[in-house]
Chains A and B, each alone.
Chain A
Amino acid sequence: MCGIAGLIHRGKSSNVGSELQGMLQALKHRGEDSTGYALYGDTDGKNFIMRFKVGENVGEGSSSVMEDVSVYDERKKIVDQTLAEMGAKVVKEERTLPYSLRYEIDYNVKDLLEFSQRIESIPGVEILSMGKSLEVIKDLGNAKMVCDRYSLDKVVGTHAIGHARMATESGVDIKSAHPFWGYPFSDVSVVHNGQLTNYWNNRRVLENKGMRFMSECDSELIAVYLAEKMRDGATLEEGMKASLTGLDGVFTYFVATKDSLGMAKDTMAAKPLVLYESDDLVAMGSEEIAIRSVLPQEIDTYDPFDGEVKVWQI
Chain B
Amino acid sequence: MANLKTVSKKSKAQSMGMHTEVLTGRTQQKFFNPDEAENFYYFGTYDVDFNKRTELDVKDMTAPEANKEIDNLMSQGYGTIVIKNPQGKHSLGVGILNKLNLIFEGSLGYFGMGSCDGPIVRINGRVGWSCAENLMAGKVVIEKNAGSCFGAAIRGGDLICKGSVGARTGIDMKGGTIIIGGDAGAFTGFMMQRGRIIILGDVGINLGDSMYDGTIFVGGEIGSYGSDAVDAELTKSDQDWLKRKLKVAEIGENFDVSKMKKIVAGKKLWNYDNLEPTEKKGAI
With A300-B126, A305-B167 already in contact, the answer to whether A289 and B89 are too (CB < 8 A) is yes
Q: Name the A residues within 8 Å of B167 (CB-CB).
A: 268-270, 303, 305-306
Is A233 at the interface (CB under 8 A from chain B)? no
- Of the candidates A268, A272, A289, A301, the one whose C-beta lies within 8 Å of that of B186 is A268
B133 → chain A closest CB, angstroms: 15
Contact mask A266-286 → B, CB, 8 Å, 1/0?
011110101000000000000
Main secondary structure of the interface of B (DSSP, over half): loop
Q: Is the CB of B145 within 8 A of A301?
A: yes
Is B144 at the interface (CB under 8 A from chain A)? yes
B56 → chain A closest CB, angstroms: 17
Q: Is the CB of B128 within 8 A of A287?
A: yes
With A287-B109, A289-B90, A292-B87 already in contact, the answer to whether A302 and B163 are too (CB < 8 A) is yes
Q: Name the B residues within 8 Å of A267 (CB-CB).
A: 186, 205
Is A45 at the interface (CB under 8 A from chain B)? no
A72 → chain B closest CB, angstroms: 42
Is B119 at the interface (CB under 8 A from chain A)? no
Contact mask A241-278 → B, CB, 8 Å, 1/0?
00000000000000000000000000111101010000
Closest-by-CB residue of B relative to A308 is: B185
Q: Is the CB of B166 within 8 A of A296?
A: no
CA distance A274 to B146 in the complex (A): 10
Is B148 at the interface (CB under 8 A from chain A)? yes
Q: Is the CB of A300 within 8 A of B144?
A: yes
Q: Which of B194-222 contact A (CB under 8 A)?
A: 204-205
Q: Is the CB of B187 within 8 A of A268?
A: yes
Q: Which of A284-314 contact B (CB under 8 A)?
A: 287-289, 291-292, 296, 298, 300-303, 305-307
Q: Name the B residues within 8 Å of A270 (CB-CB).
A: 167
Q: Is the CB of B129 within 8 A of A272?
A: yes
Is B80 at the interface (CB under 8 A from chain A)? no
Is B176 at the interface (CB under 8 A from chain A)? no
Is B77 at the interface (CB under 8 A from chain A)? no
Number of B residues, CB within 8 Å of A: 31
Q: Is the CB of B147 within 8 A of A298?
A: no
In this complex, which of A267, A274, A298, A305 has the most chain B Cβ atoms within 10 angstroms of its Cβ? Answer: A305
Q: Is the CB of B109 within 8 A of A288?
A: yes
Closest-by-CB residue of A relative to B124 is: A298
Q: Name the A residues within 8 Å of B105 (CB-CB).
A: 298
Q: Is the CB of A291 within 8 A of B166?
A: no
Closest-by-CB residue of B relative to A305 is: B185
Q: Which of B85-139 contact A (CB under 8 A)?
A: 87-90, 105-107, 109-110, 124-126, 128-129
- Of the candidates A269, A288, A296, the one whose C-beta lies within 8 Å of that of B128 is A288
With A269-B186, A292-B88 already in contact, the answer to whether A287 and B148 are too (CB < 8 A) is no
Interface size class of A (residues with CB under 8 A): 20 to 34
CA distance A274 to B144 in the complex (A): 13
Q: Name the A residues within 8 Å of B186 (CB-CB).
A: 267-269, 305-307
With A303-B147, A303-B148, A303-B185 already in contact, the answer to whether A289 and B126 are too (CB < 8 A) is no
Q: Is the CB of B205 within 8 A of A298?
A: no
Is B193 at the interface (CB under 8 A from chain A)? no
With A272-B148, A296-B87 already in contact, the answer to whether A306 and B128 are too (CB < 8 A) is no
Q: Is the CB of A269 within 8 A of B185?
A: yes
A264 → chain B closest CB, angstroms: 15
A269 → chain B closest CB, angstroms: 4
CA distance A162 to B17 in the complex (A): 53
With A287-B109, A306-B185, A306-B204 already in contact, the answer to whether A269 and B148 are too (CB < 8 A) is yes
Q: Name the B residues within 8 Å of A300 (CB-CB).
A: 126, 144-145
Is B71 at the interface (CB under 8 A from chain A)? no
Is B177 at the interface (CB under 8 A from chain A)? no
Q: Name the B residues within 8 Å of A287 (CB-CB).
A: 88, 90, 109-110, 128
Q: Name the B residues within 8 Å of A301 (CB-CB).
A: 107, 126, 144-145
CA distance A104 to B106 in the complex (A): 46
Is B158 at the interface (CB under 8 A from chain A)? no
Q: Is the CB of B147 within 8 A of A274?
A: yes
A222 → chain B closest CB, angstroms: 21
Contact mask A94-126 → B, CB, 8 Å, 1/0?
000000000000000000000000000000000
CA distance A169 to B147 in the complex (A): 27
Contact mask B158-171 → A, CB, 8 Å, 1/0?
00000111111000
Q: Name the B residues within 8 Å of A272 (CB-CB).
A: 128-129, 147-148
Closest-by-CB residue of B relative to A289 is: B88
Q: Which 4 A-B pairs have CB atoms at the shortest separation, nearest pair first?
A: A269-B167, A288-B88, A303-B166, A306-B186
Q: List 20 A-B contacts (CB under 8 A).
A: A268-B186, A269-B148, A269-B166, A269-B185, A269-B204, A270-B167, A272-B147, A274-B147, A287-B109, A289-B90, A291-B88, A292-B88, A298-B105, A298-B106, A298-B125, A300-B144, A300-B145, A303-B165, A303-B167, A305-B166
Q: A269-B166, A288-B88, A303-B165 are in contact. List 10 more A-B contacts (CB 8 A).
A: A269-B168, A272-B148, A288-B128, A289-B89, A298-B107, A300-B145, A302-B126, A303-B164, A305-B167, A305-B186
